[in-house]
Structure 1
């Protein structure tokens, strides 16, 4: 019974990610079709993240106040209209507008993670967040492969329209299957905290205050920095991967889609069967370090990959690393704060992810535009190495909080 609420959120995230992955490997080729340079492709990816940086913490706080379900529905509606704009694009500015619309309402994953935290116990969360990872892996397996076929047969707009249809399906799933999980009235808790001299709930703080509140505490600060290292590494890789494959292997959208699909197969396999056992055996912190180290190897050696078998091995290593780091770090973050702070903490993490998705693709695009393919892989690896450094430091003073 405890696991039953995860089924609708799994289906919702899966359909959302499937729609996203229909568009993700397409955009670099779509933008170049309209004359964009590699750097402009990176800026296109960053435009979504800039808007998400604004909306992420706001949506996280709103979900803490009014509930996960209505906030998730609003976010999904924006995604639907963004995909429609991309599918109907006739010039580069329309691609930018579609990504901006989607970015301003982005928050699906953050809200889904907060919902998982609402309905699971701390010791169950790594496995529960692994279910979101399975949804990601399955989406990355199916979406990019379908994109290649649709784009090659019906043009660049077809995958975006398919993504819009999936987004509409996701809205229907959320509306009909996801139970409402109202947040308990905060007034009694706030009164008790005031009497005890404790700070106000994060839901009442602006973004700057939320950042200060979490970064002033050693344990949440460490978890957020670890998440930032992961997100920056992963965003750099994904932001430049299609361009890298085009330059190094002369891949088009179809072949690139299959590489993304292979990565999704590896990641989904890990999170579908092994993540729970790995977390129990090593613990989330050690597992995160192992994952970061694997990402360093997989990303750092891309510069010496000239044959397809070598590329596939490195993609598999990187996919394994990211598949174990994301749920482990997310679990550690939610355990480092009180239950009433989890939505806001995940909103702050989404802000950090947005910063990563601004810096990573722009840096990757600039390096690839200057034919620095080895430096592109090394930059992604360097950010993962920072995660290893953080994870191997002595644990900061403090302990996980569960209210």
Structure 2
């Protein structure tokens, strides 16, 4: 048993540079995320307008994310990942020096255009990790979020208090330079010229268009309902803290950090035993059920303590669902189409990030906050219902695909 474990660790050791790069990239993101709710005061505009500008980021990500991911199928993962990381660096620089809404708009637009980091990262994992281990490895992307959220929000709150937007913007840009160096020096290409040549030769025989792949469409639809509801909650948290709870930037950053500490504890203690005991599919169902209840109660939070407790449960649900669901999605497509399928799931994330910043601030500005919980829980409900439909069997079937093309 120990020998098998050692072989497994050694087998995925080449992904270590990817985890480092993702962690640093996410750290830059978590530095800015808790501050979004305060941008309306900084730029003298409404929360809805700030939400609109941040949805522009996701609009461009929706268009360009799948393109970059598909290009990685053709030209390799590593060069496209480097291009995406350079775009992220440029966006942070522009954000740091944004003195008006137009500059902030351009910064968010650039960030969205080069937002291929995560679909390409998921494709790299799919290249090297077999389906039986892919859920755990996809969940490791969540570890990057967990670890980054331990320190990122606090750094962002302190730098924003002392230096305004310039401080966290430049700090995040500096982190992105480190990400580029790590990728350039340490990360190996996982989709080599030989793989791409073989893909070109085999594709006419084994590929299936995603729109004809019922299992892929089902899992993508399930993911869409989940990620839209999740995005509305996460993008509205900073606005909720400002509009409803009237918190200061440092206080808001502490909420994000406390949530991160809990997520780290859950990820490193409860996650694997829960997955082992329930299995991936039942863990997904449990997580989606917790999300549904948590999202509904979110709108009724009236204190910092209740909000922190609620996000502990939401964090636990995120650990159980998001990584394993990404694994399930990747298993519905052939190895030659991992960039494409992961690009599509990330495109749905972009749709969610378009909708989230628009709906959350708008509801909080115009309606009682409990309406936010009601609306989001109704969006989350179809995902829970769909998860009861034998998601264990939603996989790519090479033999069936061959019959369809015979």
| Contact persistence 1:79–1:167 (CA under 8 A) | yes
Q: CA RMSD in A?
A: 1.9
Measure how far apart 1:399 and its partner are: 3.7
* CA distance 1:179–1:187, change in 2 (3 Å): closer
Q: C-alpha distance in 1, partners of 2:144/2:215?
A: 28
Measure how far apart 1:384 and its partner are: 2.2
Q: Which residue of 1 aligns with 2:15?
A: 6
Give yes or no for the alignment of 1:101 onto 2:110.
yes
Aligned-partner SS, 1:24: helix
Q: TM-score, normalised by structure 2?
A: 0.91
Aligned-partner SS, 1:25: helix
Gaps of 5+ in 2: 1-9, 400-406
Give yes or no for the alignment of 1:289 onto 2:285.
yes
Q: Which residue of 2 aligns with 1:278?
A: 274
Give yes or no for the alignment of 1:376 onto 2:372.
yes
* CA distance 1:248–1:181, change in 2 (3 Å): same
Question: Which residue of 334, 337, 354 maps to 1:338?
Answer: 334
Question: Which residue of 211, 214, 219 maps to 2:210?
Answer: 214
Give yes or no for the alignment of 1:306 onto 2:315.
no
| Greater mean alpha carbon deviation, residues 340-349 or residues 33-42 | 33-42
Q: Which residue of 1 aligns with 2:49?
A: 40
Q: C-alpha distance in 2, partners of 1:266/1:362?
A: 28
Give yes or no for the alignment of 1:70 onto 2:66.
no
Aligned-partner SS, 1:301: helix
Q: C-alpha distance in 2, partners of 1:308/1:177?
A: 42
Task: Give matches, 1:209-288, under 5 Å.
Answer: 213-288=209-284
Measure how far apart 1:300 and its partner are: 1.0
Q: Which residue of 2 aligns with 1:57?
A: 66
* CA distance 1:397–1:294, change in 2 (3 Å): closer
Q: TM-score, normalised by structure 1?
A: 0.91
| Contact persistence 2:219–2:394 (CA under 8 A) | no
Aligned-partner SS, 1:306: coil
Q: C-alpha distance in 1, partners of 2:60/2:379?
A: 23
* CA distance 1:362–1:191, change in 2 (3 Å): same
Measure how far apart 1:27 and its partner are: 2.6
| Greater mean alpha carbon deviation, residues 335-344 or residues 45-54 | 335-344
Question: Which residue of 171, 175, 178 maps to 1:169?
Answer: 178
Q: C-alpha distance in 2, partners of 1:167/1:186?
A: 29
| Contact persistence 2:259–2:312 (CA under 8 A) | yes
| Contact persistence 1:287–1:324 (CA under 8 A) | yes
Give yes or no for the alignment of 1:20 onto 2:16.
no
- Superposed CA offset, 1:180-233 (max 9, x none): 223434455554554x5x547xxxxxxxxxxxx324322111211122122101
Q: Which residue of 2 aligns with 1:154?
A: 163
| Contact persistence 2:95–2:165 (CA under 8 A) | no
Question: Which residue of 150, 163, 166 maps to 1:141?
Answer: 150
Q: Which residue of 1 aligns with 2:402?
A: none
Aligned residues: 389
Gaps of 5+ in 1: 201-212
- Superposed CA offset, 1:77-107 (max 9, x none): 0000000001011111111111111110001
Q: C-alpha distance in 2, partners of 1:138/1:192?
A: 40
Q: C-alpha distance in 1, partners of 2:170/2:305?
A: 33
